[in-house]
Structure 1
Amino acid sequence: MRGPGLFSEIGKKGKDLLGKDYTSDQKLSFSTRTDAGVSLTSNAVKKGGLYVGDITSLYKYNNTTLEVKVDTESNVTSTVTLEEIVPFTKAIATFKLPDYNSGKLEVQYFHDHGSIAGAVALTQTPTIDFSATVGAHGIAFGAEAGFDASSGSFTKYNAGLSLKKPEYIVSILLADKGDTLRASYVHHLDAKQKTAAVAEITRKFSTNENALTVGNLYEIDPLTSLKTKLNNSGKFGALLQHQVRPNNVLTISGEFDAKALDKKPKFGLALALKP
């Protein structure tokens, strides 16, 4: 990806460290690849006493990628991605059946010092999303807005700023139409960025609520990593991820509320198998 990246990348590193791969469900993922070059991935998730799942097929030919996903509720989602039709651009079309009004077309453009993304819902009264990011030398500023043509009103307008260096990443986001301020700081403790500390503070102006979450990522050995997080509400989470064999990853996570010890802790287990 060229330049400062898309607006959605601002604050993503801190968000992933504090939330990615944490789960309270049981999940099994299996991937394989056919001789024709089609990648198949099946997911099975146990939520409570119910099992849900999906099968995703992905095929890439030159600059075109086709992805089709079918879930247990008979929903079919198709995504077509076209890269470099015009230099430095990417077009993504998404359709979901049987919801014929769920189609969306997105176009992304990347430059050395900026990026632009626009998405429109393929309906008679479409919603339009637009974002732009400019930056250089690790500094990026971006903004996004959403407009609903049926009501003639903005559905969102957000802005963000990030400073990225090899040792740290600072991100500030003004979201929810200016009602929420979210700031995060990620500090890498080694050159390979396998060990890091993160802190995120959120301020909601309409309710005068503040939230603070701290966490860390620690590489125990080349095959095993540990993540923890704790917020000011007393909720503590931990995640252990181990590569059982190449491309096969076992993830065990848990969370408990230190201010409500009478509640049962949440535990999750995920196993991803790839050839």
Structure 2
Amino acid sequence: MAPPAFSDISKNQNGLLNKDFYHANPASIEISTVAPNGVSFTTKGKTSPKDGSVAANIEAKFADKATGLTLTQGWNTANALDTKVELTDALTPGLKAEVVTSLIPGASQGAKFNLIFNNPSVTARAFFDLVKGPSFIGDATFGYENFTAGAEVGYDISSGKVTRYSAALGFAQPIYNVSVTATSNLSVFSAAYYHKVSPVTEVGAKATWDSKADAAAGKSVGIETAVKHVLDSSAFVKAKVADSGIAAVSYNQVLRPGVKLGLGASFDALKLSEPVHKLGWTLTFSA
């Protein structure tokens, strides 16, 4: 098995801390269907917590397994036409090529070219932004037994300057993993762990230190922890709390096959009397 991509070295930790919390938007809905010929359609819509406006997009995806070609076309309420073409095992086994474009008629356009390569020891990725810059972001991870080490670098081609660099180290076991990352030009350091305590309970935590933060003006170290508990085969609950005083809870329920409901809330324990708390729900259909 190939080592995880650089952004996935802390995947379990980040997923536990950030996924399946539904308070970010007051309401959202997602509908996914698959046609008999294999073309999938996905429609998403969500309300803004600021002004109540609705943002939505529709997407169609076609995959030809024989050739490894995948075409995805999307259109959203900002009038952006997003196209993604993927070719798996391009030129050589383990190499995937992607072309991603975005067009807002009369306003803006973007184009990116990506390469992803993996084998049992190495996963390497290269992302070229052909319009902005142009610029390049590349990362690579190397796996040895239970360890994964990786690095990322950003480069502005037009100016010939390195724009960012990061590094990470991870250790994984079947029921737990830990990771250490250094991002923002090695100025922000994070340490995180994930532990599947039992078949129904998962816990994790993350500590982040910004070496450039002014400790006299405010805190420079942030800590957050989360727990997930599976109630039964159709429902689970999650909770997380940060040292900033923000606490969040969520509940996910499968109402029937293909229909899921997510409920979430966040509270600021330091401002209980102020209207800063959030509530949200998500309804997901798939067929």
Equivalent residue in structure 1 for 2:283, among 238, 259, 271: 271
Q: Tell me, what secondary structure is at the counterpart of 1:36?
A: coil
What's the counterpart of residue 74 of structure 1?
79
Q: CA separation in 2, counterparts of 1:124 and 1:215?
A: 37
Q: Which residue of 2 aligns with 1:152?
A: 160
SS in 2 for 1:17: helix
**Partner of residue 56 from structure 2, selected from 53, 56, 60:** 53
Number of residue pairs matched?
272
How far has the Cα of 1:35 moved from its partner? Answer: 2.8
Q: How far did 1:243 drift?
A: 1.1
1:217 aligns with 2:228: yes
* In structure 1, C-alpha distance between the alignment counterparts of 2:234 and 2:4, rounded to whole Å: 29
Q: Are the counterparts in 2 of residues 186 and 198 from structure 1 also a CA contact under 8 Å?
A: yes
**Could you list the per-position Cα deviations for residues 122-176 of structure 1 after superposition, in whole angstroms to 9, with x for gaps in the alignment?**
2384101111110122210000000012232222100000000012110100001
Which amino acid letter does the alignment assign opposite residue 147 of structure 1? Y
Q: How does 1:162-181 map to 2 (within 5 A)?
A: 162-181=170-189
Inter-partner Cα distance in structure 1 for 2:248 and 2:131: 41
Aligned residue for 1:40? 41
Percent identity, aligned pairs only? 25
Tell me the CA shift for residue 21 of structure 1: 2.6
1:101 positional shift: 4.6
RMSD: 1.4
TM-score relative to the length of structure 1: 0.95
Report the equivalent of 2:256: 245
Within-5 A mapping of 1:77-226: 77-85=82-90, 86-98=92-104, 101-123=109-131, 125-190=133-198, 192=199, 194-207=200-213, 208=215, 209-226=220-237
Partners of 2:132 and 2:13 lie apart in 1 by 38
Q: Is the CA contact 1:159–1:173 (under 8 Å) kept in the aligned structure 2?
A: yes
Q: How many angstroms apart in 2 are the aligned matches of 1:245 and 1:51?
A: 27
Deviation at 1:100, TM superposition (A): 5.9
Contact 1:168-1:187 within 8 A present in 2 as well:
yes
C-alpha contact 1:5 1:110 (8 A) present in aligned 2: no
CA offsets 1:217-238 (integer angstroms, 9 cap, x no match): 1101111111100011111001
SS of the aligned residue for 2:169 comes to strand
| Per-residue deviation, residues 198-224 of structure 1 (Å, max 9, x unmatched) | 010000001140000011111011111
- DSSP-derived class of the 1:103 partner: strand
- SS of the equivalent of 1:102 reads strand
Distance 1:241 1:196 in 2: 15
Residues 39-93 of structure 1: CA distance to partner in whole angstroms, max 9, x if unpaired?
1111111114211111011111121111111001110111111111220111111
Cα distance in structure 2, aligned partners of 1:73 and 1:221: 40
Distance apart, 1:248 and its partner CA: 1.7
Distance 1:34 1:73 in 2: 26
Q: Which amino acid aligns with 1:61?
A: D
* 5+ residue gaps, structure 2: none
Paired residue secondary structure (2:190): strand
Matched ranges for 1:257-268 at <5 A: 257-264=268-275, 265-268=277-280
Q: TM-score, normalised by structure 2?
A: 0.91
CA contact (8 A) 1:3 1:136 kept: no
| 1:4–1:138 CA contact under 8 A, matched in 2 | no
Distance 2:146 2:5 in 1: 13
